[in-house]
A and B are shown apart, each in its own frame.
Chain A
């Protein structure tokens, strides 16, 4: 059993009024302190490489070809079942990274790649699952639309050049050691 002793109040505390005045002086001073509210539309959210925004499919800067091979690992990793991929055969020539042809050719590419942004929870599991450095979380966060169908993003809406995603890619490489080895050694 714990016995809690009540604090013995002094006369001025019993009188309430001085204490009330103390409290009021405190709130009065608070009125002149700086505001912490963000004025959102005018004052945009701070975004940096840690921001997990809308997932994007990386395309190579050299030829604009998509890196995705539609392996379906992001689809499998997605906890919200937001991703749907259909693959197809392709003769497209290889990924070039830094001028080196890293693979003979890519046999497979997505025929359709849909992310249902109404379901996406921006968790970044797809980015983590991707074996081909093809999907990354961009810093684009403002996704509102007027139509449910328009929020199911297809290939055309998801493609982004690698150079635009560069800060995020560097960040991911930095924090994730197992990605350290460049894909050219595969």
Chain B
């Protein structure tokens, strides 16, 4: 660690990192397009220019991402010369950048917009026409490339070279005719393509599943944890008008996922936008299921459970730690073992993030005394018992279709189970609608927050479970 002065303040800097990292660490914002802390600095955009003086010599303007820190260096990020240099840089960048902001998905979180506004650089002096490039290049299922908007920072190229280690994109052409493309226009592959749209500082690389779905300033963002594997990446859940989740993006978390997340998790939001979700509850009425309130369904479930013989309880690996605590007394009340469904590892495992294990809270459940069993085993146990309780999001999906036989079934899930023999279905929230904790594969606690309001007819799973336990103990006392 060495000492440098930034904007009149003495800060400590890591000599192995460039100057811009020292500025970041001391909380001073320096504009950047090509620099990304996860990748080698390239110095292609020149927007990060700051004034640096060493050994008492007059300051010189240089790119902060390509400058090594040295002892006693004096840096001024707000010098007039630095601002002039940034404005000139912006004028060049905007020379070929189309005024697409009204249709561009990046508008609102685009650093080109931000810095143009910050530096008051909007007008250009050139009268030449803009570069005429391809506006819609389809790069597979995830990414859409607009070459006109590209400012050639090559973050995407370096992301693939340095992070996923599977280079597909490249900077083709020479000098002012450069453009980003794939070899022979082949589509991109891999499970980390979505990150390209995140690293792109402008709207050149955009997500196809999010294309024109919402304006980003209308999205309400809440931090949460990804549900698709036991890595538990920190994510931001982005909800449009308190309704559908429109986008999931990674949030920087140095302990878990750095800046990245896989496409499996990123595009898992249709799961929580299910238009056919269960609201309230369903209660068996002869051979049919009848809609009811959660309270009525719980009452019915309690009467069914208190009159049945052998009982099993199978939990979902999506239960939070807090919900698992509420399942324990319920299992004790009906005399069932603590079990959860643990599907086999899928083939999505890779070296970067995905663990292949689809149980986001395996550690948390095991800590709470639950034992994992295979879906087949679980189905057999359900069929073998007089009554069964299935608790948690996606439990029905994980168990798959099975024949209930004579078993009386009570489910707590976001969807209804319509098989014959189902006695009560009680609606539960999706993981984006609850607060809680998941413990990931490394023992790291991932927090869930309420990203959108719960429908009024659905009560939190904790409440439903407590209610059922309480009703059971009351009926048990009366019997």
A–B direct contact (CB < 8 Å): yes
Judged by a CB distance under 8 angstroms, whether A87 is at the interface is yes
- Are A87 and B101 neighbours in the complex by a CB distance under 8 Å? no
With A70-B212, A131-B102 given, is the CB distance from A104 to B135 under 8 Å?
Answer: yes
Q: For chain B, what secondary structure do more than half of its interface residues adopt (helix, strand, loop), or is it mixed?
A: loop
Across-interface contacts of B101 in A (CB, < 8 A): 71, 131
Bound-state CA distance A131–B211 (Å) is: 20
Q: How far is the CA of A86 from the CA of B211 in the complex (A)?
A: 12
Answer yes or no: B186 CB below 8 A from chain A CBs: no
Q: Which residues of B contact A108 (CB under 8 A)?
A: 102-103, 212
A106 to chain B, nearest CB (A): 7
| A71-B103, A71-B107, A131-B102 known; A107-B215 Cβ under 8 A | no
Instruction: Indicate if the CB atoms of A71 and B215 lie closer than 8 Å.
Output: yes
Verify if A88 is at the interface (C-beta below 8 Å from B). yes
CA distance A72 to B217 in the complex (A): 9
B213 at interface by CB-CB < 8 Å:
yes
Report the interface size for chain B: residues with CB under 8 A from the other chain. 15
A75 interface residue per 8 A CB criterion? yes
The total of Cβ contacts below 8 Å across the A-B interface reads: 40
Bound CA span A72–B108, Å: 11
Q: Mark B135-146, 1 if CB is under 8 A from A, else 0.
A: 110000000000
- How far apart sit A84 and B241, CA to CA, in the bound complex (Å)? 10
Residues of A within 8 A of B241 (CB): 84
State which size class the interface on A falls in.
20 to 34
Q: Which of B179-227 contact A (CB under 8 A)?
A: 211-215, 217-218
B99 sits at the interface (CB 8 A): yes
Q: Do B102 and A71 have beta carbons less than 8 Å apart?
A: yes
Chain A 68-85 interface 0/1 with B at a Cβ cutoff of 8 Å (1 = within): 011111011000000010
Give Cα distance in the complex from A89 to B101, angstroms. 15
Chain B, residue nearest A131 (CB): B102
Known: A87-B212, A88-B212, A106-B103. 7 other contacts (CB 8 A): A69-B103, A72-B218, A84-B241, A89-B212, A107-B212, A108-B102, A131-B102
Q: Which residues in B have some Cβ–Cβ distance to A below 8 Å?
A: 99, 101-103, 107, 135-136, 211-215, 217-218, 241
Q: Which 8 A-B pairs have the closest CB atoms?
A: A71-B102, A72-B215, A87-B212, A108-B103, A69-B103, A108-B212, A131-B102, A107-B103
Q: Which residues of A contact B (CB under 8 A)?
A: 69-73, 75-76, 84, 86-89, 104-108, 131-132, 186
